[in-house]
């Protein structure tokens, strides 16, 4: 689970009924001008997808509370050698945010397969941070023939440690309450001390996240994502880790308090073909030290 979920929980902001998502941030407008940002309809839902570059495909999957914007530092550097596809998963960014959507890892992995089908991608390298790493692992379990390699960045993997905001998400009505949380500068400043990644964000970056959070249904979707992960039986997921045959690079922020590095070390032992790299970072190294992460990814790929 993404530590940015804490940001989403507290950065609310009023939304206008019937507000169209559009291209809500400067980064998304830049991608749109480049012809890289598009909308796809898969299984009755609309997804925002960034698609640029040529070569072997890499698919970028964000965590809870995140979006395509999480990969802003990596999309263009990686696209110099690869076709890069970054996806707003269902419930995130400018993709649809159904209140009663199925946000389990299995469902998100199934939808990812549909997105890849729509893009004509048969096999890809999957790069996932936090919840997105869980989606990548589930995809590799269910469709091993379509998984080239895995890059797991502080990926969810075992339920041993749960973030502090999880009990709040369990409360009845938490999804509706999340839609009413106000946005304020004091809240933004207070959040800077809650995690290393949030502390590195500029005012402009914070405002970009806040603009996405304001979209109708966005905060409720975050709560429902967390609830869906809690409802899933982790025993099947963990039992199938040994079936993942794709070579895996594990990149872990050693200072992560959401998914501690000890879990990354355990995952490296249990995946059949995995190597772990520990970085001086928190839960989202792709934002804190993107140059190091890009270098590790490019060095891992053939």
> How far apart are alpha carbons 214 and 11 in whole angstroms?
8
Structure confidence at residue 14 as a pLDDT band (50, 70, 90): very low
So what's the pLDDT on residue 171? 61
Alpha helices in the chain (DSSP H): 4-10, 26-33, 75-79, 105-119, 131-142, 166-170, 174-178, 185-191, 196-200, 203-213, 218-231, 234-239, 261-270, 285-288, 290-300
For the entire predicted model, the pTM comes to 0.87
Q: Comparing 20 with 176, which gets the higher pLDDT?
A: 176
Closest CA to 181 of 293, 14, 21, 1: 14
Residue 190 has pLDDT above 50, yes or no: no
Structure confidence at residue 10 as a pLDDT band (50, 70, 90): very low
Residue 284: both structure tokens together: 């989202």
CA-CA-CA-CA dihedral for 156, 161, 162, 163, to nearest 10: -90
So what's the pLDDT on residue 186? 42
So what's the pLDDT on residue 164? 60
> How far apart are alpha carbons 148 and 85 in whole angstroms?
14
The structural domain count of the chain equals 1
**Cα three-residue angle 61-67-69, rounded to 5 degrees:** 105
Query: What are the pLDDT digits (tens) for 68-108?
Result: 999 999 999 999 999 999 999 999 999 999 987 899 999 99
- The arrangement of strands across the sheet holding 248-253 comes to 37-42, 45-52, 83-87, 57-61, 124-129, 147-153, 248-253, 274-279
So what's the pLDDT on residue 176? 60
Query: What are the pLDDT digits (tens) for 198-235?
Result: 778 888 888 888 888 888 888 888 888 777 777 777 78
So what's the pLDDT on residue 1? 44
Residue 266 has pLDDT above 80, yes or no: yes
Residue 192 has pLDDT above 50, yes or no: no
CA of 70: how far to CAs of 189, 245, 264, in Å? 20, 27, 21
Element (H, E) at 58: strand 57-61
So what's the pLDDT on residue 170? 62
- Residue 284 structural domain: 4-300
- Can you spell out the DSSP letters for 148-210? EEEEEES----TT---TTHHHHHSTTHHHHHTTPPP-HHHHHHHTTS-HHHHH--HHHHHHHH
Q: For the domain that residue 72 is a member of, what is the CATH number?
A: 3.40.50.1820
Which range among 44-53, 55-64, 185-194, 250-259 shows the weakest confidence by mean pLDDT?
Answer: 185-194
**Cα three-residue angle 156-159-164, rounded to 5 degrees:** 85
Query: What are the pLDDT digits (tens) for 275-290?
Result: 999 999 999 999 999 9
SS3 of residue 257 by DSSP:
coil
Element (H, E) at 127: strand 124-129
């Amino acid at each position: 689970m993404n530590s940015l979920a804490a940001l989403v929980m507290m950065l609310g902001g009023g939304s206008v009924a019937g507000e169209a998502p559009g291209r809500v941030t400067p980064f998304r407008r830049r991608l749109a001008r480049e012809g890289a940002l598009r909308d796809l309809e898969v299984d009755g839902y609309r997804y925002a997808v960034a698609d640029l570059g040529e070569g072997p495909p890499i698919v970028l999957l964000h965590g809870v509370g995140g979006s395509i914007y999480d990969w802003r530092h990596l999309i263009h550097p990686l696209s110099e050698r690869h076709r890069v596809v970054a996806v707003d998963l269902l419930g995130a960014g400018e993709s649809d945010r159904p209140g009663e959507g199925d946000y389990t890892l299995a469902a998100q992995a199934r939808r990812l397969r549909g997105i890849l089908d729509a893009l004509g991608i048969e096999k890809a390298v999957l790069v996932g941070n936090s919840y997105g790493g869980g989606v990548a692992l589930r995809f590799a379990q269910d469709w091993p023939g379509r998984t080239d390699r895995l890059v797991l960045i502080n990926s969810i993997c075992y339920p041993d440690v749960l973030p502090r905001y999880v009990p709040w998400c369990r409360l009845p009505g938490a999804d509706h309450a999340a839609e009413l949380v106000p946005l304020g500068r004091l809240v933004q400043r207070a959040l800077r001390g809650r995690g290393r990644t949030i502390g590195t964000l500029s005012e402009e970056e914070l405002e970009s996240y806040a603009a996405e959070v304001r979209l109708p249904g966005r905060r409720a979707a975050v709560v429902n994502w967390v609830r869906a992960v809690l409802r899933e039986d982790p025993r099947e997921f963990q039992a199938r880790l040994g079936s993942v045959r794709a070579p895996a690079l594990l990149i872990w922020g050693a200072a992560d308090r959401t998914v501690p590095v000890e879990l990354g070390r355990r995952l490296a032992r249990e995946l059949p073909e995995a190597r772990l790299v520990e970085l001086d970072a928190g839960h989202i190294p792709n934002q804190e030290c993107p140059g190091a992460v890009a270098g590790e990814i490019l060095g891992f790929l053939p």
